[in-house]
């Protein structure tokens, strides 16, 4: 079932904290936010972008580190400070002409549930909140920030015809 769905995916939507990172928030002495990203996730993201799958980040928080990482990876669709992630996803899908049944979303906590409910392939990272695990059609083996996104990217690429 996942392979069938994965082959139709044209948009991969990612949360940040707990998905692209391990969920911990680090603050420097001047209050700046620091985030650690897994390098293999970046390789996977570049691979799916190269295969023609759009990648978007939708996050409830704002971070210059996320802007920089998205730019490094070539992610053109970055929505930060989203109180309503589902609305952000709807607007993005409409702008890109990608219907919900051609989208996948990776989440880890309850603010991601409305987004996950919209897509054909809702995915939870291994250490996600129990309600997110229950809502997912697929759960990664890796935890958030520990290669879970690479795992998802490989899954999507393997499912392509």
* Domain parsing of the chain, residue ranges: 2-159
2-159: CATH class: alpha beta
Summarize pLDDT for 138-147 with one digit per residue, the tens: 999 999 999 9
Tens-place pLDDT, residues 40-52: 999 999 999 999 9
To the nearest 10°, report the CA torsion of 143, 15, 47, 73: -120
Among positive and negative, which fits the CA dihedral 138, 142, 144, 146? negative
Give residue-wise pLDDT tens across range 115-136.
999 999 999 999 999 999 999 9
Who's near 161: CB < 8 A, 6+ residues apart?
7
Query: According to DSSP H, which parts of the chain are helical?
Result: 2-6, 39-50, 64-73, 85-96, 113-118, 130-135, 148-159
């Amino acid at each position: 079932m996942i392979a069938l769905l994965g082959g139709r995916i044209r948009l991969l939507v990612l949360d940040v904290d707990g998905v692209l990172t391990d969920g911990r928030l680090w603050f420097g002495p001047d209050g700046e936010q620091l985030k650690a990203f897994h390098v293999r996730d970046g390789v996977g993201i570049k691979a799916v972008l190269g295969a023609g799958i759009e990648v978007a980040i939708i996050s409830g928080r704002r971070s210059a580190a996320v802007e920089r990482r998205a730019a490094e990876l070539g992610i053109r669709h970055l929505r930060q400070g989203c109180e309503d992630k589902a609305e952000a996803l709807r607007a993005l899908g409409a702008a890109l002409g990608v219907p919900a049944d051609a989208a996948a979303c990776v989440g880890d906590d309850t603010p991601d549930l409305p987004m996950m409910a919209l897509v054909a392939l809702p995915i939870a990272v291994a250490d996600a909140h129990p309600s997110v695990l229950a809502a997912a059609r697929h759960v990664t083996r890796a935890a958030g920030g520990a290669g879970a996104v690479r795992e998802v990217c490989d899954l999507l690429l393997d499912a392509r015809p």
